[in-house]
Amino acid sequence: MKKTEQEKQQFMTDHFDESLLDFIFSEIKFALENDPQIDSYDMFLASMSELLERIKKSPWPEKASDFIEKFYLEYEDAHQMSNCSEFREPYEIYCRITRTYFVLTHWQGKKFFRMLLQKFPVKDEKNIISTWTNNFILSQFRSIRINDKLYFEDIRTQQKYLIENPPKILAINGKALPELFVALILPTEKAYTTEAVLNCEGFKLIHPSFIKNMSKRSWEEFLLQWYSKNLLEFVTDRYGRQETKLPVFYAANQLKGESNEEFANRLIEQDRFLSHFPKRQILVSFLIEVIQTFPKLFDAKVNAISLLQAIKLLFTDIDFENEIEFEKQPVDFWLYLILTTLPEQAAQLRKYRLQ
């Protein structure tokens, strides 16, 4: 039976993903075999969130975005604070944790987890790693020392978890552990490990009575949303709103031999927020339509930044009829062209929000 074009494309995508993953895991295997300082548990933990970013042409990042977008801040809030390292750096770690949380809890994420585990180039640690989806702890903690050993005490349950390799944890944080922090910890052979801790000193306190009767899942989702909102509020109160500086000019010409998809991806990468939009393939497909519809406007003398700014506005609640002055602003001119020529495609984008 002949395959449909869609089935052929799906086969090619899956085949490409398998080849890419094989290459990535060959690199991981080489690192594990040649660097005695690398811990297998830590390597797998890093892989769970990192690989979702590295295989952008697969369906996995888009599947993850459907789950994790509820934990991300609104685009405008993140946009205004992106130049402030006190916000940007912890928020990037927070986003890594949400991706890991997707892999550990969502049914599609667990399929990704099993695929990673099957390919992961270790044997002895796999039995313990296979339990992570059931035995991870995402909570707010305080650190305590008992007989010179470091423990994380869960503020919700008061249970204490022995932490493996305390110097590594302190190195991750860059200083002594804060009094209160959020972390996702996972069991190893002898203790627990984590990729990072999120400082929440100075945030609004969570009253114990409020969380006492929460289920584990409800607490985890509440905690993620609580952290991102408090981080934004805390940094904004301390440093004020920041203005994001964008490039002034980026030539909109397509390079020789560059496919429309490659061209669209290169343009997207010029804007920090478009490049982090979780539904990447939807954005790429839309930009390809724009490129194909207005080929003469993609010239070296044309500023692509205006187009990218216009596309970002498609995700907002702007009143297009009353606020667009396309005869005055290049951004509004692009909006006018898109909305009058590709109205259905533009309407589809407005269902989403940039993260």
Report how far residue 255's alpha carbon sits from residue 336's, in angstroms, rounded to the nearest whole number: 26
pLDDT(13) > 50 = no
Global pTM reads 0.64
- Per cent of the chain over pLDDT 90 is 25
Give the residue, 329 or 260, on which the prediction is more confident: 260
Q: Which of 28-37, 74-83, 196-205, 241-250 has the lowest mean pLDDT?
A: 241-250
Contact 131, 159 (CB under 8 A): no
Which residues, other chains included, contact 89 with Cβ-Cβ below 8 Å and sequence gap of 6+?
none
Indicate the SS3 state at residue 51.
Answer: helix
Q: Dihedral sign, CA of 201, 206, 211, 215?
A: negative
Q: Summarize pLDDT for 158-201 with one digit per residue, the tens.
A: 999 998 876 566 655 556 788 899 999 999 998 999 988 999 98
Of 130, 120, 127, whose CA–CA distance to 31 is shortest? 120
Report pLDDT for 245.
Answer: 52
Contact 108, 136 (CB under 8 A): no
Over its C-alpha atoms, the chain yields an Rg (Å, rounded) of 23
Confidence tier at 237 by pLDDT (50, 70, 90): confident
Burial of residue 227 (number of CB atoms within 10 Å: 0-12, 13-18, 19+): buried
Contact 308, 270 (CB under 8 A): yes
Give the residue, 340 or 75, on which the prediction is more confident: 340
Which residues, other chains included, contact 334 with Cβ-Cβ below 8 Å and sequence gap of 6+?
306, 307, 309, 310, 311
Of 238, 222, 223, 221, whose CA–CA distance to 81 is shortest? 238
Of 47, 43, 94, 46, whose CA–CA distance to 68 is shortest? 94
Residue 259's φ and ψ, nearest 5 degrees, are -70, 165
Report how far residue 272's alpha carbon sits from residue 94's, in angstroms, rounded to the nearest whole number: 17
Element (H, E) at 276: none
